Amino acid sequence: VQLQASGGGLVQAGGSLGLSCAASGRTFGSYAWGWFRQAPGKEREFVAAITWRAGRAFYADSVKGRFSISRDSRRDTVTLQMNSLKPEDTAVYYCAATSVSIGSRDLLYQIMYPYWGPGTLVTVSS
């Protein structure tokens, strides 16, 4: 399974950007998809996650109310809509997926996701 994220770019503070992640290769029954990000000089952190069947969404406190994660079961894609972007949102964003049923608290942890995309850069200028 390969994941590929797209939609990164440069945007001014207060603007919006949408990221998409698509899966290719062998089909897999995904349980949940997540977005993580890594800012320069910082560790990679959780951003948002969504369970595939129920569509339950979870967000980091830093993006709650500004970001929205959704999934399209027909296209096998997950989208992260980012609004009211801030310079501190600048990072490389990674999408990840797991086919294992895990608890909602575990969706925050990178180690729970065996499938990862290569990342896409989001730069928010002030």
7 touches 17 (CB < 8 A): yes
Amino acid (1-letter code) at residue 114: P
Amino acid (1-letter code) at residue 67: F
pLDDT bracket for residue 36 (50, 70, 90)? very high
| Between residues 11 and 31, the one the model is more confident about | 11
pLDDT bracket for residue 26 (50, 70, 90)? low
What are the backbone dihedrals phi and psi of residue 120, each rounded to the nearest 5 degrees, phi first?
Answer: -140, 140
pLDDT bracket for residue 27 (50, 70, 90)? low
Q: What is the pLDDT of residues 57-82, one digit of tens each?
A: 999 999 999 999 999 988 889 999 99
Q: What is the pLDDT of residues 9-20, one digit of tens each?
A: 999 999 999 999
Cβ-in-10-Å burial (0-12, 13-18, 19+) of 88 comes to exposed
Handedness of CA 99, 49, 73, 119 (dihedral sign): negative
